[in-house]
Amino acid sequence: MKSISRRGFIERGTIAALGLSVLPIDLRAANPERKTVKVGVIGTGGRGMSHISTLLGMENIEINAVCDLTRSKADSAADYCVKAGKPRPNVYCRDENTWKELLDKEKLDCVIIATYWDSHAAIALHAMKNGIYPGIEVPAALTVEDTWQLVETSEKTGIPCMMLENWSFRQDNLAALNMKRQGMFGEIVHCHCAHSHDCIDHWFFDSATGAQKWPAEYLLKYNRDQYPTHSVGPILSWMDINCGDIFTEIYSTASASKGINAYFKRKFGPDHSNANLKYRQGDIVTSLLKTKMGKTLVINYDMQLPRPYSNRWLLEGTLGVYDEEKSSIYLVGKSPQYHTWEPWKPYEEKYNHTWWSSDFSAQSHGGTDYVMLNQFIEAVRAKGPTPIDVY
């Protein structure tokens, strides 16, 4: 596998970042032959199956292999491909390391990794060493050491590695980014974001029995922002992180952990086995970050208290502010009334990113997953940079 310098790799990555941030690289135009992309999928649970469904709706795609720890899930994924009129992919299901066999045996262009968090980095590293583009579900890694291994391996092999952070590809976020790049917010000063999503009754624990699911172990072991990428992903582009600016300071604090115990006592009674466990994870984590250029960012983790879903994105600069939660915007010299919000939607439509089409709205997550995977696949097809890379 060819090795390239860090400078060369960063230059390639910068091109990709500019594609995401300003005007997208037209990878379809760069690939007039539209060669078939051979894909493997490791992890065929809910998220993996969602990706398979999206991929099957694309042209010139072959899902050659699927892998899961549970035989029924792997077989269901293969059957799903057949029902869609595609060849049956090879099924790998023996033990927790069977994914290595898939990556070593199959002649793949890329692999979608939708497994448990703690296996993401290892699978991606093995894929890159085999010349396979990894598309990793969030989070890409759980430790600083693993993130550096992803960077160094991607640089050494020359294989891009993309974290599949779909919220970076939302229509509203890309429109805001388009406006930011055109200077409509002036100089960016501050941003805010949150992952406010009550996941106790379905993602961390079974809603019917209260039994722990695999993510619950992280609530018992750690007190941290468990899931920052959904909220921070779009912000990184808005704030030019690793594309002209870097984070230099971070301060984090967590509230007490009250929500999980209260939920179990309320729904299952005080004698439920999970009602009196001691959870290390605080209900709200607030992090304040500062960049070298003096921008600030507030991030909230908020996944354990009863509340409606919200991302609470805020983009504030010297010429105005965009508030996603209000679906409102105010711009100096453009908004018709002084210090008065106006609707965001007309701006989203006017500054819509060229990656987006109204035809995508019926796809998963309102089309966001399709846009994300389509850009990943086109990068693979072109053997070029991905819109999100290891930086």
Give pLDDT, residue 384. Answer: 98
Whose tokens are 């099924």? That residue is 91
Mean pLDDT, range 240-261, rounded to an integer: 98
What tens digit of pLDDT does each residue of 329-347 get?
Answer: 999 999 999 999 999 999 9
Q: What is the dihedral of CA 121, 126, 132, 134, to 10 degrees?
A: -10
Q: Mean pLDDT across the chain, nearest whole number?
A: 93
What tens digit of pLDDT does each residue of 108-158 get?
Answer: 999 999 999 999 999 999 999 999 999 999 999 999 999 999 999 999 999
Q: Which structural domains are found in the chain, ordered by start?
A: 6-166+368-382 (3.40.50.720), 183-350 (3.30.360.10)
Angle at 127 between CA 121 and CA 130, to 5 degrees: 145
What tens digit of pLDDT does each residue of 255-308 get?
Answer: 999 999 999 999 999 999 999 999 999 999 999 999 999 999 999 999 999 999
Q: Is 366 left (phi over 0), alpha (psi -120 to 50) or beta?
A: left
Among the residue ranges 28-42, 121-135, 203-217, the one predicted with the least confidence is 28-42
List the beta bridge partners of residue 245. Answer: 241
- CA distance linking residue 38 with residue 36, whole number of Å: 6
Give pLDDT, residue 314. Answer: 99
In the predicted model, is pLDDT for residue 32 greater than 70?
no
pLDDT category of residue 358 using cuts at 50, 70 and 90 = low
In angstroms, the Cα distances linking 166 to 23, 70, 146, 308, 387 are: 18, 26, 21, 20, 11
Give pLDDT, residue 238. Answer: 99
In angstroms, the Cα distances linking 194 to 100, 225, 230, 303, 378 are: 36, 10, 8, 10, 30
Mean pLDDT, range 201-209, rounded to an integer: 97
Give pLDDT, residue 34. Answer: 82
Give pLDDT, residue 5. Answer: 52
Query: How many Cα atoms sit within 13 Å of 278 on the Cβ side?
Result: 1
Whose tokens are 């890694």? That residue is 141
- CA distance linking residue 50 with residue 365, whole number of Å: 10
In the predicted model, is pLDDT for residue 180 greater than 80?
yes
Give pLDDT, residue 17. Answer: 41
Bond preceding residue 32 cis, omega within 30 of 0: no
In the predicted model, is pLDDT for residue 65 greater than 50?
yes
Q: Is 365 left (phi over 0), alpha (psi -120 to 50) or beta?
A: left
User: Is the CB of residue 134 less than 8 Å from the CB of residue 123?
Assistant: yes
Q: What percent of the chain has pLDDT over 90?
A: 88
In the predicted model, is pLDDT for residue 29 greater than 90?
no
What tens digit of pLDDT does each residue of 216-231 get?
Answer: 999 999 999 999 999 9
User: Is the CB of residue 45 less than 8 Å from the CB of residue 114?
Assistant: yes
Give pLDDT, residue 359. Answer: 62
Tokens of 247: 């984070």
Q: Which position has the higher pLDDT, 53 or 32? A: 53
How many beta carbons lie within 10 A of that of residue 332, not counting itself? Answer: 14
- pTM of the model as a whole: 0.91
- CA distance linking residue 259 with residue 265, whole number of Å: 10
User: Is the CB of residue 128 less than 8 Å from the CB of residue 159?
Assistant: yes
In the predicted model, is pLDDT for residue 361 greater than 70?
no
